[in-house]
C-alpha cells in the first residue's frame, strides 16, 4: 500500500470514528443519545402519538375525567406528570400498559423491544426543559433504574 493510500485510509477511519462518537453522544448531559431520540421519534410516532400527540403534547385537560370516569392520556412533555416517574416505572408502564394504574393504555410488552421502549422515553424527554429534566434526576433520590 502506498503512503498516499495509507494516509487516505487513516483520514477515512478518523472521520468514521468522529461520526460514530457524535451519533452516540449524550444530548445535553442526559442519559440518552441523539441516536436514541431519533429512533424514539419513529417508535413514538408509530405507537404513541395517536394518544399522546406527535410531540408528546396531547390532551391539555388531561386531569378532567372522561364520561366513563377514566382519565385521558396525559401529555408526556413537561406539562403533566411523566417527570414524576423514574425511568424504570416509565418502562414498566410502557411494558404492562395502564391497567395497573387504572388506565387504558395498551401494553407494549410484545410490540416493542427494550431498546425501542427506552428510545421512546428519550424522545418525549427531549421535549423537557433542562430545569424539568434536572428536577426529574434530583427527584429520583438515588433510585437506580432497573
Model confidence pLDDT, tens digit, residues 20-49:
444 445 557 899 999 999 999 999 999 999
Q: What is the dihedral of CA 96, 52, 42, 143, to 10 degrees?
A: -50
Domain that holds residue 34: 29-139
Q: Report yes or no on 145 lying in a domain.
A: no
Whether residue 80 lies inside any domain: the answer is yes
Q: What is the pLDDT of residue 15?
A: 60
Using CA atoms of 107, 109, 114, 115 in order, give the dihedral in degrees to the nearest 10. Answer: -70
Find where cell 413537561 sits.
Answer: 78
Asked whether residue 83 is domain-assigned, the answer is yes
CATH code at 68? 1.10.760.10
Domain-embedded: residue 59: yes
Percent of the chain with pLDDT over 70: 79
Based on the structure, what is the number of domains in the chain? 1
pTM of the model: 0.77
Is 61 inside a domain boundary? yes
Set of cell numbers at residue 88? 424504570
Amino acid at each position: 500500500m502506498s503512503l498516499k493510500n495509507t494516509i487516505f485510509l487513516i483520514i477515512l477511519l478518523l472521520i468514521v470514528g468522529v461520526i460514530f462518537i457524535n451519533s452516540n453522544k449524550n444530548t445535553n448531559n442526559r442519559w440518552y443519545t441523539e441516536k436514541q431520540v431519533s429512533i424514539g421519534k419513529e417508535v413514538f410516532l408509530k405507537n404513541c402519538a395517536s394518544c399522546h400527540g406527535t410531540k408528546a403534547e396531547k390532551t391539555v385537560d388531561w386531569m378532567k375525567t372522561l364520561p366513563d370516569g377514566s382519565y385521558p392520556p396525559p401529555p408526556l412533555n413537561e406539562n403533566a406528570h411523566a417527570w414524576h416517574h423514574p425511568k424504570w416505572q416509565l418502562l414498566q408502564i410502557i411494558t404492562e400498559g395502564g391497567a395497573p394504574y387504572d388506565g387504558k393504555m395498551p401494553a407494549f410488552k410484545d410490540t416493542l423491544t427494550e431498546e425501542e421502549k427506552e428510545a421512546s422515553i428519550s424522545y418525549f424527554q427531549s421535549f423537557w426543559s433542562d430545569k424539568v429534566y434536572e428536577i426529574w434526576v434530583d427527584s429520583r433520590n438515588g433510585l437506580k433504574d432497573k
